Amino acid sequence: MRTGLYPGTFDPITLGHVDIIKRACKLVDKLVIGVAINRDKGPLFSLEERVAMVEAECAKMTDAFGTEIVAHPFENLLINCARDVGAGFIIRGLRAVADFEYEYQMVGMNRKLDAEITTVFLMAEAEHQAIASKLVKEIARLNGDVSQFVTPRVRDALYEKYPR
């Protein structure tokens, strides 16, 4: 069984994340969505809310792609999380050159920590390349329309945090 780990904060999950998840499902039999606790980032949504959003957005994908999808909170090193869930692949989404520079460093470090775990990069579709959770939250906070960046369920959750 090919198991992949797609890690992130998912604060909140965006259409860019959903796009990467859908394409990752074509590569693995089981996809673990690693929801990082990451207290340093000061997330808008609680861990429980982020896990619930990921599970809700992925529920239909399991049937559509035949891939088991599991949300898994983690706070340890990414490579240790990959080992914990039995992942042979770490899946990372790339939006721009700036992402690549950071990710390239991460791959090098992770290869030193465990050469058996391979990192796979998936480029975001052009329509999703500018989407970043940080920017989506900013738009919602300033009473903008985030409908083109997130699903209706996530949009509503954002508007609950930032009443219009």
Catalytic residue ranges? 17, 41, 95, 133
- Return the number of other C-beta atoms located less than 10 Å from residue 70's C-beta: 16
Q: How far is the CA of 123 from the CAs of 64, 92, 119, in angstroms? A: 21, 9, 13
Closest to 123 in 3D by CA, of 158, 160, 93? 93
What gap in Å lies between CA 5 and CA 24, rounded to an integer? 9
- Return the number of other C-beta atoms located less than 10 Å from residue 35's C-beta: 27
